Amino acid sequence: MVSQEWRKASVKQIKGVGEKTAALFHKLHIDTVGDLIAHYPRTYVRYPVAKAPGGAAAGETAAVSGRITKAPVVRRSGNMAVTISWVGAADDGIELVWFRMPYIRNNLQPGNSYVFYGKVLWKNGRKVMEQPVIYSREQYDGIAQTFLPVYALTGGISNNQISKAVRAALSDERLFADVLPGEIRDKYGLSEYNYAIRQIHFPDDMDTLIEARKRLVFDEFFFFILSMQYQKEKRVRDKNEFVFADDDFVETLKKGLSFRLTKAQEAALSDIRRDMRGPCVMQRLIQGDVGSGKTILAFLAMADAAHNGCQSAIMAPTEVLARQHRDTFEKLCEQLGLKIPVVLLTGALTARQKRMAYEALQLYPNAMIVGTHALIQEKAVYDNLALVITDEQHRFGVRQREVFAEKGSHPHILVMSATPIPRTLAIIVYGDMDISVVDEVPEKRLPVRNCVVDTRYRPKAYDFIEKEVRLGHQAYVICPLVEETENLDLENVTDYVKMLRGIFPEEIQLGLLHGQMKPDQKNKVMEAYQKNEVQVLVSTTVVEVGVNVPNATVMMIENAERFGLAQLHQLRGRVGRGDAQSYCIMVNGSVAETAKKRLEILNASNDGFAIASEDLKLRGPGDFFGIRQSGELQFALGDIYQDAAVLAQASGAVGELLAEDGDLLRQEHKGLRAYMENFMEARISQMSL
């Protein structure tokens, strides 16, 4: 029976999964059979051909085959039992050691042959294998050269438990319906769905693994794009219910600014104004590199709405950025002589402040409203909301954007993103939106000067930061961790601040900022930094998104090799926002050649789009599971750069399908439509753009 019912069944219906195991699965967001089969392996182990003990080299993970000639012995080291045996010739064998496993002595019979799997070490002048897994020769022959899945785990559940549960789910007689039309599978050379699912979990060889992955990546892209296009078709029919005057109000505002808009900004603004006066509701993405001036476009669009008696709202991903927008908008209104109320609504406000903000939403029909996720809470009720803007779109799920839009009566939607996706990919990924690209930076800004250095350069970097501070400027120092951890030898902000206090003179004020701080603490630190009461801000990547301090001229990034290129580019975008020359110092804590090559891409360019393209060329198809970067569209398997060709194929297939059957009403497409509506909505709403 081919059905979707088995996909929706509880994991407790799988043989061997009881209440306790189901509770552990829940921690991994696995509640149904469908969730389980979509919990793909994060990597695979390929067991090597067994070799003689003398052929195994120290440092390698090997399988050695040999006969046990003497019974193992158990020794005591304090309260710990240590079981010791030997395999191979006396002068060229391997010592086998198990800690706290005295029962091993009874499992190994002298005279019998076994295969031992583990890492070979060199200790005390001989080869040693600690905690090796024991197989009979027949058992090992059955797994040698096969790919065994390695899954993401949680405390209390083993890799073997997940593997057994997946095998049980896939061995059930209830197969999964393959809703992808046969003609699409044939055209793009895609395998059948049930075959692909089995092979992604338990591949026969590398060829079948690649084949399975291609099918499942195609599915992820196909259904995402189909849903986007399907929603776009529905939204295009939404009538624009707002009447905006076709006057020169915005042109007059532009003349009052202290700077001129770039040609790219002018073009994007023209797109926005045309959409807001068109017959249908606007659905537009403004895609601009860091520092390209997207915020002023948001302000002018919101001022346009206010001029026409309507409210507008902009949702930022962080409290710090929301407050920054509020301050910026208030200053611009004062500078331009506008009597437009600017309302702040965030989760960190006191109960009284929130109540006053809610009242303001009802009191001022032309207000500019700035906030965080608090803008989409039930208590936030708007009066005549005509325009909603989400800043840094990749931080919000699609469903969150929709909830925001539903706060008004079909308001215009404007999304701003600094994710450096090449335009050809952006057209596909943001298939439900029209796109404007802002690919110029304001004319007064100088390109950031970059350098990639190793840890020996730190003293010079500190001297350089002190010099810039004495010139009246400020600096950021970015660390990957909040506090020290035993497992990672990386810099952390807590200890780094203490260390810098012993290096910089007392008159240089240091600040500390990280995501675990309370919102009011973060706001106080950022306000002090923006006022230059703090000269050097030591922070985690919480400053990555949108923070604007034009006086900051130095960005020093510790353990730069630990960040994705897109994230590094975002961080670098926090400097170079004023008229002064700015600098980015990337400290590489790795000796790996690949890390050096990747960082050199940033060293050579300040163009986010070029960086994304070069990163794709450097990685190529060799990175099987792709490199996840902050701010990029996240799929379970697919990577929009690595799998760009599959993404293009999926987009083409969607276009052909909707051209033939736009509403998916044909009998052969009903299963496809049901699948999209029942199973993809939740995934798309959770996906971080």
Decide: pTM greater than 0.75.
no
Other CB atoms within 10 A of residue 37 CB? 21
In a domain, 677, yes or no: no
pLDDT digits (tens, 9 = 90+) for 155-214: 888 888 999 999 999 987 777 888 899 999 999 999 999 999 999 999 988 899 999 999
In a domain, 524, yes or no: yes
Nearest to 285 by CA among 399, 396, 422, 413: 413
Q: Are residues 270 and 134 part of one domain?
A: no
Q: Are residues 60 and 38 part of one domain?
A: no
* Whether the predicted pLDDT of 520 surpasses 90: no
pLDDT digits (tens, 9 = 90+) for 432-467: 678 888 888 777 778 899 999 999 999 999 999 999
In a domain, 548, yes or no: yes
Q: What is the mean pLDDT of residues 218-227?
A: 87
Cα-Cα end-to-end distance for the chain: 37
Q: Of 61-70, 444-453, 541-550, which has the strongest mean pLDDT? A: 61-70
With tokens 């106080």, the residue in question is: 524
Q: Are residues 86 and 30 part of one domain?
A: no
- End position of a domain, from candidates 568, 589, 605: 605
- End position of a domain, from candidates 605, 625, 651: 605
Find the radius of gyration of the CA atoms of the chain: 30
Of 301-310, 363-372, 454-463, 490-499, minimum mean pLDDT range: 490-499
* Whether the predicted pLDDT of 1 surpasses 60: no
Tokens of 180: 């992808």
Confidence tier at 618 by pLDDT (50, 70, 90): low
Please, which residues have CB within 8 angstroms of residue 182's CB and are 6 or more apart in sequence? none
pLDDT at 165: 94
Residue 493: C-alpha distances to residues 331, 478, 496, 538, 557 (Å)? 33, 8, 5, 6, 11
Q: Are residues 270 and 127 part of one domain?
A: no
* Domain count across the chain: 4
Residue 668: C-alpha distances to residues 157, 220, 540, 671 (Å)? 41, 20, 52, 7
pLDDT digits (tens, 9 = 90+) for 37-58: 999 998 888 888 999 999 999 8
What CATH number did the domain enclosing 129 receive? 2.40.50.140
Distance separating alpha carbons of residues 406 and 388, to the nearest angstrom: 10
Q: What is the mean pLDDT of residues 628-641?
A: 60
Domain membership of residue 307 as a residue range: 249-279+293-417
pLDDT at 269: 97
Q: Are residues 582 and 523 part of one domain?
A: yes
At residue 189, φ and ψ (nearest 5 deg) are 60, 45
- End position of a domain, from candidates 580, 605, 630: 605
Share of the chain above pLDDT 70, in %: 87
Q: Are residues 79 and 37 part of one domain?
A: no
Q: Are residues 383 and 338 part of one domain?
A: yes
Residue 567: C-alpha distances to residues 417, 420, 511, 544, 571 (Å)? 13, 10, 22, 7, 6
Other CB atoms within 10 A of residue 351 CB? 7
pLDDT at 135: 93
Confidence tier at 395 by pLDDT (50, 70, 90): very low
In a domain, 512, yes or no: yes
Q: Are residues 364 and 350 part of one domain?
A: yes
Q: Give 46 or 678, the one with higher predicted confidence.
A: 46
pLDDT at 423: 61
What CATH number did the domain enclosing 573 receive? 3.40.50.300
What CATH number did the domain enclosing 165 receive? 1.10.150
* Whether the predicted pLDDT of 297 surpasses 90: yes
* Whether the predicted pLDDT of 384 surpasses 80: yes
In a domain, 81, yes or no: yes
Q: What is the mean pLDDT of residues 659-672?
A: 82
pLDDT at 195: 95
pLDDT at 613: 63
In a domain, 538, yes or no: yes
pLDDT at 392: 60
If you average pLDDT over every residue of the chain, what do you get?
85
Q: Are residues 128 and 39 part of one domain?
A: no
Distance separating alpha carbons of residues 32 and 453, to the nearest angstrom: 49
Cβ atoms of 33 and 13 closer than 8 Å: yes
In a domain, 656, yes or no: no
In a domain, 58, yes or no: yes
